[in-house]
């Protein structure tokens, strides 16, 4: 943020001031007031300069108006910060929980609802950890590791995609994530449904994911996905609540937590959907292209 403001300042300083406006300001500064106290003199000069600038701007030529319009203004800055962080170590166990917060949205209802949700998730995670510690017998080690944080996956002029992840180790390991994608221009939260004309996208995306799964398994015998005809492990496909985000290249990415689409050792898995596969079903190409 500081760098952006510095860049804007440098750009502003390098922008030439129209000669007509410069002459008006200089004339105001050079004019001597008659018997004005020092403080009043400063106020008078400032006011006179401001009035003359306004007057000049009304009568300036199109060229001057164009030059004035080129002077950059500081736009709102939407960013993600660490709101609070918990660090706990006890009985050979540890928890590191970082809670994000989105700032800079004019839509405070959206901003507050997201931040309240993030804080509630972190509090619940911390409570689960401390509850687990409280059930240990004296001298017993928990051997529990919890790490929770966030990543900014995409941040451009149009969208902000944020991932909140939690890695847990207790006998076995698991990774869970949740994603939020915000339209920064309209300040609304994007859903999977909102990107498409109708629900035909579900079948199209499911078919593409299964194709990718089979291709990956054919190329790498160490990869296993649940695409076999077994009701207990068969990949059931996605629905409208599926985890997703839009990456920096403007591609739709479907994300699965541990055990949702593959055995635990595969961890969390993701599939980038080729835009050509879903282009006819998209509402538009503003987000995905």
Q: Which of 190, 223, 249 is the last residue of a domain?
A: 190
Q: Which of 21, 51, 69 is the last residue of a domain?
A: 69
- Asked if 169 and 228 sit in the same domain, the reply is no
Report whether 83 contacts 119 (CB < 8 A).
yes
Q: Rounded to an integer, what distance in angstroms lies between the CA atom of residue 83 and that of residue 81? A: 6
Q: State the helix-helix crossing angle for 19-30 and 62-69, rounded to 10 degrees.
A: 90
Measured in residues, the chain has a length of 289
Comparing CA positions, the residue from 219, 152, 205, 213 lying closest to residue 182 is: 152
- Asked if 200 and 174 sit in the same domain, the reply is no
pLDDT digits (tens, 9 = 90+) for 8-36: 445 434 444 444 434 433 444 444 444 44
275: containing domain: 192-289
- Asked if 133 and 146 sit in the same domain, the reply is yes
- Asked if 138 and 184 sit in the same domain, the reply is yes
Q: Rounded to an integer, what distance in angstroms lies between the CA atom of residue 114 and that of residue 210? A: 32
- Asked if 142 and 38 sit in the same domain, the reply is no
What CATH code is carried by the domain that includes residue 207? 3.90.640.20
Q: Which of 157, 190, 223 is the last residue of a domain?
A: 190
| Cα 163 from chain centre | 8
- Asked if 196 and 279 sit in the same domain, the reply is yes
Q: Rounded to an integer, what distance in angstroms lies between the CA atom of residue 171 and that of residue 14? A: 61
Q: What is the pTM of this model?
A: 0.72
- Asked if 175 and 87 sit in the same domain, the reply is yes
- Asked if 216 and 269 sit in the same domain, the reply is yes
| Mean pLDDT value across residues 112-139 | 89
Q: Is the pLDDT of residue 44 over 50?
A: no
- Asked if 181 and 206 sit in the same domain, the reply is no
């Amino acid at each position: 943020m500081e760098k952006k403001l510095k860049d804007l300042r440098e750009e502003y300083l390098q922008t030439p001031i129209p000669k007509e406006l410069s002459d008006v300001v200089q004339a105001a500064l050079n004019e001597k007031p008659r018997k004005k106290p020092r403080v009043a003199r400063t106020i008078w000069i400032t006011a006179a300069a401001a009035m003359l600038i306004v007057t000049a701007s009304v009568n300036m030529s199109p060229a001057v108006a164009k030059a004035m319009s080129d002077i950059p203004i500081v736009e709102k800055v939407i960013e993600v910060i660490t709101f609070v962080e918990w660090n706990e170590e006890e009985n050979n166990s540890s928890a590191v929980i970082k809670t994000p917060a989105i700032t800079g949205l004019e839509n405070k209802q959206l901003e507050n609802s997201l931040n309240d949700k993030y804080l509630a998730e972190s509090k619940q995670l911390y409570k689960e950890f401390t509850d687990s510690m409280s059930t240990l017998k004296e001298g017993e080690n928990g051997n529990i590791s919890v790490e929770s944080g966030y990543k900014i996956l995409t941040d451009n002029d149009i969208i902000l995609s944020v991932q909140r992840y939690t890695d847990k180790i207790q006998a076995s390991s698991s990774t869970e994530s949740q994603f939020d994608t915000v339209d920064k221009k309209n300040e609304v939260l994007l859903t999977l449904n909102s990107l498409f004309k109708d629900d035909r996208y579900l079948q199209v995306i499911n078919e593409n994911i299964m194709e990718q799964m089979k291709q990956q398994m054919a190329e790498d015998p160490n990869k296993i996905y649940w695409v076999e005809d077994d009701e207990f492990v068969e990949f059931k496909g996605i629905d409208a609540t599926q985890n997703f985000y839009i990456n920096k290249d403007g591609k739709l990415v479907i994300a699965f937590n541990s055990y949702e689409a593959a055995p635990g050792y595969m961890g969390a898995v993701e599939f980038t959907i080729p835009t050509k596969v879903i282009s006819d079903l998209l509402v538009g190409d503003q987000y995905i292209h």
